[in-house]
Amino acid sequence: MPGKLGIVAGGGAFPGLVIEACRAEGRPFHVLALTGHANPAVIGDAAADWIRLGEAGTGFKLLRQAGVDEVVMVGPVRRPSPLELAPDFRTAAFFARIGLKALGDDGLLRAVVAELERDGFRVVGIDAVLGDCLAPAGPLGNLAPDPRAEADIGRGVAVAAGLGVLDVGQAVVVQQGIVLAVEAAEGTDRLIRRSAELRRDGPGGVLVKMKKPGQDRRVDLPAIGLATLAEAAAAGLCGIAVEAGGTLVLGRAAVAAEADRLGLFVVGVSMT
């Protein structure tokens, strides 16, 4: 049995799934929930401490006091407000040490992982806890992209890779070879809604979502779920392509069934 797991919980439902998995296998765990990001209803009655993002130093101390050996970081975290980032003493020293690396999402996350490991924690990916959470290769449901959609997917993969290199975002919407919208700080749902305003006549576009090149796959993997499907259908998209083995799928069976019901394809593709 692995050691006690520390669950650093952001938003969404994935922290709850990790809690359920630990309970199902009898693994001890402790939650470090991020105030303003984690959903109290998802955390439920699990043993938890709540901190602001700026209280990371305090959070490390709480994880040690809880006897945590391994740490998983799960759930989206929106761009924080200055108040949320008001640092405790250790976090202030951390920001002073990493300097400009904190300006980008990837640099900051890599620095946080390094800091956790420096403190003696082992950082693991969510797939080490939830074995079937990653998108497989090929269609998830009964629908598959046609040649026109395949071309849009290829274009989207190339654009998403470029965005990732610049640490901008993880998603893009392409229709008939035209890039309608790219993800920045607004997140995928707003990206999809924005693309609907730019939709062209004819067959719908494709959402392509990939992890950033060189990204530490233990943190901040792209994710889709039923809400993503609902947004895609409302925007008139014909399907979603995600990186096989590099994108989290919240409820794979439910996503496949809902995609079929909505007439959307969801497909896992390779970045190369």
Backbone angles phi, psi at 17, to 5 degrees: -65, -40
* CA-CA-CA-CA dihedral for 105, 109, 111, 113, to nearest 10: -170
DSSP classification of residue 99: G
Q: Answer whether 12's CB lies under 8 Å from 76's CB.
A: yes
Complete DSSP assignment for 148-162: HHHHHHHHHHHHHHH
Q: How far apart are CA 22 and CA 108, in angstroms?
A: 28
Q: What is the pLDDT of residues 111-143, one digit of tens each?
A: 777 778 888 899 998 888 887 889 999 999 999
Q: What is the DSSP string of 221-245?
A: --EE-HHHHHHHHHTT--EEEEETT
Q: What is the pLDDT of residue 100?
A: 47
Q: What is the pTM of this model?
A: 0.79
CA distance 246 to 195: 24
| Digit-coded pLDDT (tens) for 218-262 | 777 888 999 999 999 999 999 999 999 989 998 899 999 999 999
Q: Which residue has the higher pLDDT, 118 or 91?
A: 118
Q: Could you tell me the residue ranges of all domains in the chain?
A: 5-128, 138-269
> 138-269 — its CATH code?
3.40.140.80
Which CATH fold topology does 5-128 show?
Rossmann fold (3.40.50)
The span from the CA of 111 to the CA of 118, in Å, is 10
